[in-house]
Chains A and B, each alone.
Chain A
Amino acid sequence: EPEVTQTPSHQVTQMGQEVILRCVPISNHLYFYWYRQILGQKVEFLVSFYNNEISEKSEIFDDQFSVERPDGSNFTLKIRSTKLEDSAMYFCASSGGGGAGGELFFGEGSRLTVL
Chain B
Amino acid sequence: GENVEQHPSTLSVQEGDSAVIKCTYSDSASNYFPWYKQELGKRPQLIIDIRSNVGEKKDQRIAVTLNKTAKHFSLHITETQPEDSAVYFCAASDDKIIFGKGTRLHILP
Q: Which residues of A contact B (CB under 8 A)?
A: 33, 35, 41-45, 48, 55-56, 91, 98-101, 103-104, 106-109
Identify which of A41, A55, A104 contacts B46 (C-beta below 8 A).
A104
Identify which of A42, A55, A99 contacts B93 (C-beta below 8 A).
A99
Alpha-carbon gap, A104 to B51, bound state (A): 14
Identify which of A35, A42, A103 contacts B102 (C-beta below 8 A).
A42
List 9 extra interface pairs beyond A45-B99, A100-B94, CB under 8 A: A45-B96, A48-B95, A48-B96, A55-B95, A56-B96, A103-B46, A104-B97, A106-B43, A108-B42
Interface size range of chain B in the complex: 20 to 34
For B16, the chain A residues whose CB sits under 8 A away are none
Minimal Cβ-Cβ distance residue in B for A44: B99
Alpha-carbon gap, A35 to B93, bound state (A): 14
Q: Which residues of B contact A (CB under 8 A)?
A: 30-32, 34, 36, 38, 42-46, 49, 51, 89, 93-102
Q: Is the CB of B93 within 8 A of A106?
A: no
For B30, the chain A residues whose CB sits under 8 A away are 100
Identify which of B31, B34, B43, B95 contacts A108 (C-beta below 8 A).
B43
Alpha-carbon gap, A45 to B44, bound state (A): 13
B87 to chain A, nearest CB (A): 9
Minimal Cβ-Cβ distance residue in B for A91: B43
User: Given contacts A100-B51, A104-B46, is CB(A42)–CB(B100) below 8 Å?
Assistant: yes
What 9 A-B pairs come out closest when comparing CB atoms?
Answer: A100-B32, A99-B95, A106-B43, A42-B101, A43-B99, A100-B31, A99-B93, A100-B93, A48-B96
For A91, the chain B residues whose CB sits under 8 A away are 43-44
